[in-house]
Amino acid sequence: ETGVTQTPRHLVMGMTNKKSLKCEQHLGHNAMYWYKQSAKKPLELMFVYSLEERVENNSVPSRFSPECPNSSHLFLHLHTLQPEDSALYLCASSQDYGGTGGSYEQYFGPGTRLTVT
Partner 1 sequence: ELKVEQNPLFLSMQEGKNYTIYCNYSTTSDRLYWYRQDPGKSLESLFVLLSNGAVKQEGRLMASLDTKARLSTLHITAAVHDLSATYFCAVEGWGAQGGSEKLVFGKGTKLTVNP
Residues that bind partner 1 (CB under 8 A): 42-43, 48, 55-56, 88, 90, 92, 94, 97-100, 102, 104-111, 113
Listed in sequence order, the residues at least 6 apart from 25 whose beta carbon sits closer than 8 Å to its beta carbon are: 3, 4, 5, 32, 72, 74, 91, 93, 107, 109
Using the minimum distance from each CB to partner 1, give the nearer residue, 68 or 90.
90
Using the minimum distance from each CB to partner 1, give the nearer residue, 25 or 94.
94
- To partner 1, the closest distance from the beta carbon of 47 in angstroms equals 13
Neighbour-count burial for 65-92, b at 16+ CB within 10 Å, e otherwise: ebebeebbebbbebeebeeebbbebbbb
Using the minimum distance from each CB to partner 1, give the nearer residue, 5 or 65.
5
Using an 8 Å Cβ cutoff, are 48 and 54 in contact? yes
- To partner 1, the closest distance from the beta carbon of 16 in angstroms equals 27
- To partner 1, the closest distance from the beta carbon of 105 in angstroms equals 6
